[in-house]
């Protein structure tokens, strides 16, 4: 076997493994987004699993890319997803909490927006 | 080969996100699901760029992600303030 074909086989194997891990994470995140009972738990699924899975899938695509220009652009896309996903999750959670959407919390009550200034002792 | 598998798997996840987009009880669920759908479409477009070897499609995916972020921030800001022309100072400070 010449080195070029070994390198090609290695590229296919490594990118396949990385993409499979990312697809597993994306499947978990999307199932959580569909099945969880509450906006905040859905946010947790969408943030943690989905963003990390998207970044890992894009990194696997960058390994499988045919030339360097595509690989560099895919790394840029991964950096963008990694930066913007948690930012948007924070924005959605803060907007929902400020709008008065209460989380389902069992026995425990989450603090309401604006309730801390009246309930805390001076 | 890997890019095709990635596109198919992300497409299945896109269907799940689309179900939440149409079934979401609150506005914030729909915002979150819409962002997920656009990001998954961007990944599918990027996989198409890897399959066909054209880097223009990866640039299109970058534009998708940026436009989705800007649109979601605009939607959240509008539904918090109910206006696109928010006052710069609060009313009690004037």
Judge whether B62 lies within some domain: yes
Structural domain span for residue B59: 2-81
Please provide the DSSP assignment of chain A as one string: --HHHHHHHHHHHHHHHHHHHHHHHHHHHHHHHHH-SSHHHHHHIIIIIIIHHHHHHHHHHHHH-SSHHHHHHHHHHHHHHHHHHHHHHHHHHHHHHHTTPPP--TTPPPPPTTTHHHHS--
Judge whether A96 lies within some domain: yes
Structural domain span for residue A62: 3-101
Judge whether A117 lies within some domain: no
Judge whether B86 lies within some domain: no
Max CA pair span of chain A: 78
Judge whether A114 lies within some domain: no
> In the prediction, which pLDDT does B91 show?
66
Q: Choose between A99 and B15: higher pLDDT.
A: B15
> Count of domains in chain B?
1
> In the prediction, which pLDDT does A21 show?
93
**In a mutagenesis test of the A interface, which of B16, B22, B40, B66 is the best target, namely the one with the most A β-carbons within 10 Å?**
B16
> Count of domains in chain A?
1
> In the prediction, which pLDDT does A121 show?
43
Domain containing residue B23: CATH number? 1.10.287
CB-CB neighbors (< 8 A) of B9 in chain A: 19, 23, 26-27
- Banded model confidence at residue A100, pLDDT cuts 50, 70, 90: confident
Judge whether A93 lies within some domain: yes
For B41-78, write each residue's pLDDT tens digit.
999 999 999 999 888 999 999 999 999 999 999 888 88
Residue of chain B whose alpha carbon sits nearest to that of A82: B65
Q: Report in angstroms the alpha-carbon separations of A68 from A12, B6, B23, B73.
A: 16, 20, 41, 33
Q: Give how far B64 is from chain A: nearest CA, Å.
A: 10
Interface residue B73 vs chain A (CB under 8 A): yes
* ipTM reported for the complex, 2 dp: 0.84
Judge whether A22 lies within some domain: yes
For A43-73, write each residue's pLDDT tens digit.
888 888 889 999 999 999 999 888 888 999 9
Q: Is there a contact between B35 and A42 if contact means CB atoms under 8 Å apart?
A: no
């Amino acid at each position: 076997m010449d080195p070029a074909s070994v390198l090609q086989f290695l590229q296919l194997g490594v990118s396949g493994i990385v993409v499979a891990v990312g697809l597993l994470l994306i499947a978990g995140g999307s199932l959580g987004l569909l099945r969880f009972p509450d906006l905040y738990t859905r946010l947790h699924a969408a943030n943690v699993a989905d963003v990390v899975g998207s970044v890992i899938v894009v990194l696997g695509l960058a390994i499988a890319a045919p030339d360097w220009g595509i690989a560099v652009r895919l790394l840029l896309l991964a950096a963008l997803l990694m930066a913007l996903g948690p930012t948007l999750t924070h924005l959605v959670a803060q907007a929902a909490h400020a709008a008065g959407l209460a989380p389902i919390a069992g026995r425990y009550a989450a603090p309401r927006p604006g309730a801390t200034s009246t309930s805390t002792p001076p | 080969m890997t890019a095709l598998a990635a596109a198919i798997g992300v497409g299945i996840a896109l269907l799940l996100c689309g179900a939440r987009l149409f079934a979401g009880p609150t506005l914030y669920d729909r915002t979150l699901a819409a962002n997920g759908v656009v990001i998954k479409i961007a990944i599918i477009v990027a996989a198409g760029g890897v399959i066909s070897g054209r880097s223009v499609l990866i640039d299109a995916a970058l534009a998708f992600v940026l436009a989705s972020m800007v649109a979601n921030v605009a939607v959240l800001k509008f539904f918090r303030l109910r206006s696109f022309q928010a006052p710069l100072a609060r009313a009690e400070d004037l």
